[in-house]
Amino acid sequence: MEEKKQCKGCGGALPFLIGFVAMLVVGWVVFPKVIYSQKTQPVRFSHKIHQEQGMECANCHAFRDDGSYAGLPKNEKCQECHADVVGSDPAEKVYVEQYAQKNKEVPWLVYQYQPDNVFFSHKAHESFECKECHLEVGKMDTPPVYYENRLSGYSKQTMKMWQCERCHAENGVSNACHVCHK
């Protein structure tokens, strides 16, 4: 008789619900945190400070003459101002001493890093605002945390194929393989 009572106490759908809800929480709340490792940029680059100096985005993120996009600037560009320490920010000192003076490129983490088989033309997407695809870093003093997927190795912000395809479809642009792949 005792056993039956106990069974009633834990019986019914409760344990099922407990498991169900617990895994919902794990799946929706814990898993998305666990699957990404967090990384910080090698140098705390402040877009804000640079903007305050009156710099435009295109001063560093520019198109080359052949229409290709230079992406993140290289030492050559940074050293135009930072061959030596010019300010008081410790991050600048890190850059100058560990990279510029050692002639070593900064291994920036690229939030939108795409695989080799993707061909992406910034020029073709020039009419869009950068922030429609990129993190809006322009006014940030500290670069956002880089979330790297522990399984795939890509950044959390790397755009997925379905996103590209949806936008292409909505704008009447071909979704043929070679439009985006190489």
Could you list the residues that contact other proteins (CB under 8 A)? 6-7, 9-11, 13-24, 26-28, 31-32, 35, 63-68, 70, 115-117, 119, 121, 123-124, 126, 149, 151-154, 174-179, 181-182
Nearest partner of 133 among 178, 69, 38, 74, judged by Cα: 69
Nearest to other proteins of 35, 94 (CB atom): 35
Nearest to other proteins of 119, 128 (CB atom): 119
Nearest partner of 114 among 149, 158, 78, 65, judged by Cα: 158
CB of 53 to other proteins, least distance (A): 25
CB of 158 to other proteins, least distance (A): 9
Nearest to other proteins of 87, 153 (CB atom): 153
CB of 48 to other proteins, least distance (A): 27
Rounded to a whole number of angstroms, the CA Rg of the chain reads 24
Our CA dihedral for 105, 147, 110, 39, rounded to 10 degrees, sits at -10
Residues 6+ apart with CB under 8 A from 103: 75
Nearest to other proteins of 23, 145 (CB atom): 23
Cβ-based burial of 14 (10 A; exposed 0-12, middle 13-18, buried ≥19)? exposed
CB of 72 to other proteins, least distance (A): 10
CB of 56 to other proteins, least distance (A): 18
Would you give the DSSP letter of residue 44? -
Q: How many CB atoms lie within 10 A of CB 4?
A: 9
Nearest to other proteins of 20, 128 (CB atom): 20
